[in-house]
């Protein structure tokens, strides 16, 4: 078996792990920016997130291509093969152990990234609701204590000034 394919897989998994370290760091910075409502900082973070997302997608494509190459030389590897089964096919115990460690680390980091994303989405939605509330207050809108037929709020506006277009 070609050990270079296994080495390539370990290298790619290592790079993906590093990318998720960056994603976690960005998520934490985004959280702080959302809490203090730092719109300039948030804008920069969003730009960095786009670049990092593209990098992760590229690495994931490389991982997929490497797995396809491995499946060509190892007939027992197919689309339904689980990662734990794949690791057992590694030509050396040291490679198997390293792949397991990289996979476990990556799983932890992905879960942490998902939690950060979910928390940041809640913060962003709360900030938008606060902005909407204040805009409605400035514009003289009031929300009725009942819901409309589509489940949304019923908003009424009082006329604060006459404007003829």
> What is the greatest pairwise CA distance in the chain?
81
Could you read off the pLDDT of 24-79 as tens digits, one per residue?
Answer: 999 999 999 888 888 888 899 999 999 999 999 999 999 989 988 988 888 888 88
Q: Where are the domains of the chain?
A: 3-139
HSE, CB side, 13 Å, CA atoms: give it for residue 13: 22
The top-level CATH class assigned to 3-139 is mainly alpha
- Cα Rg for the chain, rounded, in angstroms? 25
- State the CB neighbour count (10 A cutoff) for residue 66: 19
Global pTM reads: 0.74
* Percentage of the residues of the chain whose pLDDT score is greater than 70: 78
CA distance 42 to 76: 47
CA distance 9 to 6: 5
């Amino acid at each position: 078996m070609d050990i270079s394919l296994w080495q390539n897989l370990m290298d790619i998994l290592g790079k993906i792990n590093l990318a998720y370290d960056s994603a976690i760091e960005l998520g934490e910075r985004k959280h702080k920016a959302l809490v203090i409502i730092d719109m300039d900082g948030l804008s920069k973070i969003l730009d960095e997130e786009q670049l990092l997302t593209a990098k992760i997608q590229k690495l994931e494509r490389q991982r997929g291509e490497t797995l396809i190459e491995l499946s060509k030389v190892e007939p027992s590897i197919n689309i339904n093969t689980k990662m734990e089964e794949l690791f057992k096919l590694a030509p050396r115990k040291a490679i198997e152990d390293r792949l397991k460690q990289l996979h476990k680390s990556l799983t932890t980091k992905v879960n942490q990234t998902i939690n950060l994303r979910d928390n940041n989405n809640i913060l962003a939605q709360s900030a938008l609701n606060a902005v909407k509330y204040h805009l409605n207050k400035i514009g003289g809108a009031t929300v009725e204590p009942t819901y409309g037929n589509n489940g949304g709020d019923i908003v009424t506006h009082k006329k604060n000034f006459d404007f003829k277009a």
